[in-house]
C-alpha cells in the first residue's frame, strides 16, 4: 500500500480524492494548505504527493522548492486548472502534472506512473 499526501485547499476535492485513492488501496494523508503539506511531507515517509498549485499559506511552487531544499525527494504530481500548468511543472522539476477538473482515469494512470507501476486495466 502506497502512502499518498493530497494537498488542496478545497475540502470537497480533498474528500473526493481521499475516497478515490482509498478505493485504489492507497494510504491517504490530507493537507488543506501549503504549510500543512510541508509539515506532513517533511516528517512522514511518503510515496507520492499530489499537490495543488494554488493554495493559501504557501502555494504549490513554494512547497516544491521548500521540499527540494530540505532534500525531500518524494515524487510530486502537480495539479491545477491553470493553462500554464505544463510549463510550471517543468520549471519546478516535478515528476508529473494533471489538469483540474480531474479525469480520474488519467489521474490514476499518472499516479501509478509516478509510483513506478502500471495501472490496472
| CB 48, CB 114: distance < 8 Å | yes
pLDDT digits over 19-77, tens only?
999 999 999 999 999 999 999 999 999 999 999 999 989 999 999 999 999 999 999 99
Pick the CATH number of 3-114 from 3.40.50.1820, 3.40.50.300, 3.40.50.2300, 3.65.10.10: 3.40.50.2300
Residue position matching grid coordinates 478505493: 23
First vs last C-alpha separation in the chain? 18
The pLDDT value given to residue 47: 96
The pLDDT value given to residue 117: 64
User: Which H/E stretch holds residue 60?
Assistant: helix 60-69
Is 118's pLDDT higher than 70? no
Give the dihedral sign, CA 61/28/112/80. Answer: negative
The pLDDT value given to residue 22: 97
As given in the structure block, the three cell numbers for residue 8 are 488542496
pLDDT digits over 67-109, tens only?
999 999 999 999 998 888 788 888 898 998 999 999 999 999 9
At residue 78, what are phi and psi to the nearest 5 degrees? Answer: -85, 135
Amino acid at each position: 500500500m502506497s502512502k499518498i499526501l493530497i494537498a488542496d485547499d478545497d475540502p470537497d476535492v480533498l474528500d473526493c480524492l481521499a475516497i478515490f485513492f482509498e478505493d485504489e488501496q492507497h494510504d491517504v494523508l490530507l493537507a488543506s494548505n501549503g504549510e500543512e503539506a510541508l509539515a506532513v511531507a517533511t516528517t512522514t515517509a511518503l510515496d507520492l504527493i499530489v499537490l495543488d498549485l494554488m493554495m493559501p499559506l504557501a502555494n504549490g511552487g513554494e512547497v516544491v522548492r521548500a521540499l527540494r531544499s530540505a532534500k525531500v525527494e518524494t515524487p510530486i504530481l502537480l495539479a491545477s486548472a491553470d493553462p500554464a500548468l505544463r510549463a510550471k511543472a517543468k520549471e519546478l522539476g516535478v515528476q508529473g502534472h494533471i489538469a483540474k477538473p480531474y479525469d480520474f482515469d488519467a489521474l490514476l494512470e499518472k499516479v501509478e506512473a509516478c509510483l513506478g507501476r502500471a495501472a490496472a486495466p
